[in-house]
A and B are shown apart, each in its own frame.
Chain A
Amino acid sequence: MDALIPQLLNGSAQGALLLLAALGLSLTFGQMGVINMAHGEFLMIGAFSAYLVQQVIAASDLSIPVALPVAFVVAGLFGLLLEVTIIRWMYRRPLDTLLVTVGVGLILQQAALQIFPSQGVPVEKPSWLDGQLTILGYAWPMRQLFTILLAAVCVAALSAWLKYTSFGRRIRATVHNRDLAETTGISTRTIDRLTFFVGSGLAGVAGVAASLIGGTNSQMGAQYIIPAFLVVAAGGIGQLKGTILAAWAVGVALAFFAYWTTGSLAQVLAFILVIVFLQLRPQGLFTVRTRSLA
Chain B
Amino acid sequence: GCGARAGDDTAGAGSSAAASCVDTSGDTIKLGFLNSLTGGMAISEKTVSNVLHMAADEINAGGGLLGKKIEYVQEDGATDWPTFAEKTEKLLTQDCVAAIFGGWTSSSRKAVKPVVEKLNGLFFYPVQYEGLESSPNIYYTGATTNQQIIPAMDFLASKGVKTLFLAGSDYVFPRTANAIIKLYAAKLGIKIVGEEYVPLDKDDWTSQVAKIAAAKPDFIFNTINGSSNVGFIKAYYDAGLTPAKTPIISVSIAEEEAPAMGHEVTGNYASWNYFQSLKTATNPKFIQSWKAYPKSSGVTSDPMEAAYISLYLYKALVEAAGSFDVNAVNAAAKKNTITFDAPEGKVTLDGENHHISKPGHIGRINADNQFDIVWASDKFIEPDPYLEGYDWFPADIRKQLTDAAG
Q: Are A6 and B170 in contact (CB under 8 A)?
A: no
Determine the distance from Cα of A14 to Cα of B203 in the docked complex, in whole angstroms.
12
Determine the distance from Cα of A143 to Cα of B205 in the docked complex, in whole angstroms.
13
Q: Nearest chain-A residue to B265 (Cβ)?
A: A122
1/0 per residue, CB under 8 A from B, across A259-289: the answer is: 1001110110000000000000000000000
Q: B86: CB under 8 A from chain A?
A: no
Residue among A7, A131, A223 facing the most chain B CB atoms (10 A cut-off): A223
Q: Are B238 and A219 in contact (CB under 8 A)?
A: no
Q: Are B262 and A223 in contact (CB under 8 A)?
A: no
Q: A10: CB under 8 A from chain B?
A: yes
Question: Shortest Cβ distance from B130 into chain A, in angstroms?
Answer: 19
Q: Are B234 and A213 in contact (CB under 8 A)?
A: yes
Known contacts A262-B170, A264-B170; decide if A217 and B260 are in contact (CB<8 Å).
Answer: yes
CB contacts between A and B, total, < 8 Å? 135
Q: B400: CB under 8 A from chain A?
A: no
- List the A side residues contacting B172 at CB < 8 Å: none
Q: Are B207 and A119 in contact (CB under 8 A)?
A: no
Task: Report which of A120, A217, A255 forms a contact with B207, defined as CB distance below 8 A.
Answer: A255
Q: Are A119 and B43 in contact (CB under 8 A)?
A: yes
- List the B side residues contacting A263 at CB < 8 Å: 170, 196-199, 202, 205, 207-208
Task: Report which of B170, B227, B240, B256 forms a contact with A215, defined as CB distance below 8 A.
Answer: B227
Q: Are B198 and A264 in contact (CB under 8 A)?
A: yes
Known contacts A118-B46, A214-B231; decide if A223 and B207 are in contact (CB<8 Å).
Answer: no
- List the A side residues contacting B204 at CB < 8 Å: 14, 17, 213-214
Task: Report which of A6, A13, A131, A217 forms a contact with B227, defined as CB distance below 8 A.
Answer: A217
Q: A185: CB under 8 A from chain B?
A: no
Name A203-226 residues within 8 Å CB distance of B: 210, 212-220, 222-223
Known contacts A124-B262, A131-B240, A139-B213; decide if A144 and B43 are in contact (CB<8 Å).
Answer: no
Task: Report which of B199, B208, B239 forms a contact with A267, defined as CB distance below 8 A.
Answer: B199
- List the B side residues contacting A264 at CB < 8 Å: 170, 197-199
- List the A side residues contacting B170 at CB < 8 Å: 262-264
Determine the distance from Cα of A117 to Cα of B239 in the docked complex, in whole angstroms.
28
Question: Shortest Cβ distance from B288 into chain A, in angstroms?
Answer: 20
Known contacts A214-B203, A267-B199; decide if A120 and B239 are in contact (CB<8 Å).
Answer: no
Q: B44: CB under 8 A from chain A?
A: yes
Q: Are B199 and A144 in contact (CB under 8 A)?
A: no
1/0 per residue, CB under 8 A from A, across B224-249: the answer is: 00011111001100111000000000
- List the A side residues contacting B235 at CB < 8 Å: 141, 213
Determine the distance from Cα of A215 to Cα of B203 in the docked complex, in whole angstroms.
7
Q: Are A125 and B262 in contact (CB under 8 A)?
A: yes
Determine the distance from Cα of A139 to Cα of B239 in the docked complex, in whole angstroms.
7
- Category for how many chain A residues contact B: 35 or more
- List the B side residues contacting A110 at CB < 8 Å: 38
Q: A154: CB under 8 A from chain B?
A: no
Q: Nearest chain-B residue to A121 (Cβ)?
A: B260
Question: Shortest Cβ distance from B295 into chain A, in angstroms?
Answer: 11
Q: Nearest chain-B residue to A141 (Cβ)?
A: B238
Q: B259: CB under 8 A from chain A?
A: yes
Q: Are A213 and B203 in contact (CB under 8 A)?
A: yes
Task: Report which of A121, A124, A223 forms a contact with B202, defined as CB distance below 8 A.
Answer: A223
Residue among A17, A142, A266 facing the most chain B CB atoms (10 A cut-off): A266
Name A108-148 residues within 8 Å CB distance of B: 110, 113, 117-125, 131-132, 139, 141-144
- List the A side residues contacting B43 at CB < 8 Å: 113, 118-120, 217-219
Q: Nearest chain-A residue to B264 (Cβ)?
A: A125
Q: B336: CB under 8 A from chain A?
A: no
1/0 per residue, CB under 8 A from A, across B362-400: the answer is: 000000000000000000000000000000000000000
Q: B47: CB under 8 A from chain A?
A: yes
Q: A254: CB under 8 A from chain B?
A: yes
Question: Shortest Cβ distance from A113 into chain B, in angstroms?
Answer: 6
Known contacts A263-B198, A264-B170; decide if A214 and B207 are in contact (CB<8 Å).
Answer: no
Q: Are B201 and A223 in contact (CB under 8 A)?
A: yes
Q: A52: CB under 8 A from chain B?
A: no
- List the B side residues contacting A218 at CB < 8 Å: 42-43
Q: Nearest chain-B residue to A259 (Cβ)?
A: B207
Determine the distance from Cα of A121 to Cα of B227 in the docked complex, in whole angstroms.
10
Q: Nearest chain-B residue to A262 (Cβ)?
A: B197
Known contacts A120-B260, A125-B262, A213-B231; decide if A219 and B201 are in contact (CB<8 Å).
Answer: yes
Q: A245: CB under 8 A from chain B?
A: no
Q: Are A258 and B207 in contact (CB under 8 A)?
A: yes
Determine the distance from Cα of A250 to Cα of B214 in the docked complex, in whole angstroms.
23
Q: Are A215 and B197 in contact (CB under 8 A)?
A: no
- List the B side residues contacting A141 at CB < 8 Å: 206, 235, 238-240
- List the A side residues contacting B261 at CB < 8 Å: 122
Q: Are A113 and B240 in contact (CB under 8 A)?
A: no
- List the B side residues contacting A132 at CB < 8 Å: 238-240
Q: B263: CB under 8 A from chain A?
A: yes
Residue among B204, B207, B240 facing the most chain A CB atoms (10 A cut-off): B207
Q: Are A214 and B234 in contact (CB under 8 A)?
A: yes
Question: Shortest Cβ distance from B265 into chain A, in angstroms?
Answer: 10
Task: Report which of B40, B206, B227, B297 forms a contact with A144, defined as CB distance below 8 A.
Answer: B206
Q: B187: CB under 8 A from chain A?
A: no
Residue among B170, B205, B206 facing the most chain A CB atoms (10 A cut-off): B206
Q: Nearest chain-A residue to B46 (Cβ)?
A: A118
Task: Report which of A120, A142, A258 forms a contact with B208, defined as CB distance below 8 A.
Answer: A258
Name B252-276 residues within 8 Å CB distance of A: 256-257, 259-264
Q: B residues near A, CB below 8 A?
A: 38, 40, 42-44, 46-47, 170, 196-199, 201-208, 210-211, 213-214, 227-231, 234-235, 238-240, 256-257, 259-264, 297
Q: List 11 A-B contacts (CB under 8 A).
A: A14-B204, A119-B227, A122-B262, A124-B262, A125-B234, A214-B231, A215-B229, A215-B231, A223-B201, A259-B207, A263-B197
Q: 9 smallest A-B Cβ distances: which pairs?
A: A214-B203, A215-B230, A263-B198, A214-B231, A258-B207, A215-B227, A141-B238, A122-B262, A120-B260
Known interface pairs A213-B206, A216-B230; 19 further A-B residue pairs with C-beta atoms within 8 A, sorted by A's residue number: A14-B206, A113-B46, A117-B259, A118-B42, A118-B47, A119-B227, A119-B260, A213-B231, A214-B203, A214-B204, A214-B227, A214-B230, A215-B227, A215-B229, A215-B260, A217-B227, A262-B198, A263-B205, A263-B208
